[in-house]
């Protein structure tokens, strides 16, 4: 997953859409674990916050 999002960023694609696709079937507990893992993998807090806000606004 990290590689896919990282590749999307490098290709100037929208990683938010990828986050939305990946997390669309997740419950809140699983989403929180996903984003915690993203933090541990080095994703910026800004990117994670944007992704969480985008997912929650669906």
Which residue from 29, 34, 26 is spatially nearest to 58, judged by alpha carbons?
26
Full 3-state SS string of 20-46: HHHHCCCCHHHHHHHHHHHHHCCCCHH
Predicted confidence at residue 48, as pLDDT, reads: 85
**The whole model's pTM is what?**
0.62
pLDDT on residue 18: 72
pLDDT score of 15: 65
The DSSP code for 47 is: H
- Flag residues of the chain having pLDDT under 50: none
């Amino acid at each position: 997953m990290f590689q896919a999002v990282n590749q999307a960023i490098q290709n100037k694609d929208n990683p938010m859409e990828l986050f939305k696709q990946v997390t669309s079937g997740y419950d809140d507990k699983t989403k929180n674990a996903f984003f915690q893992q993203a933090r541990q993998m080095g994703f910026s807090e800004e990117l994670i916050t944007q992704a969480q806000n985008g997912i929650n606004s669906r």
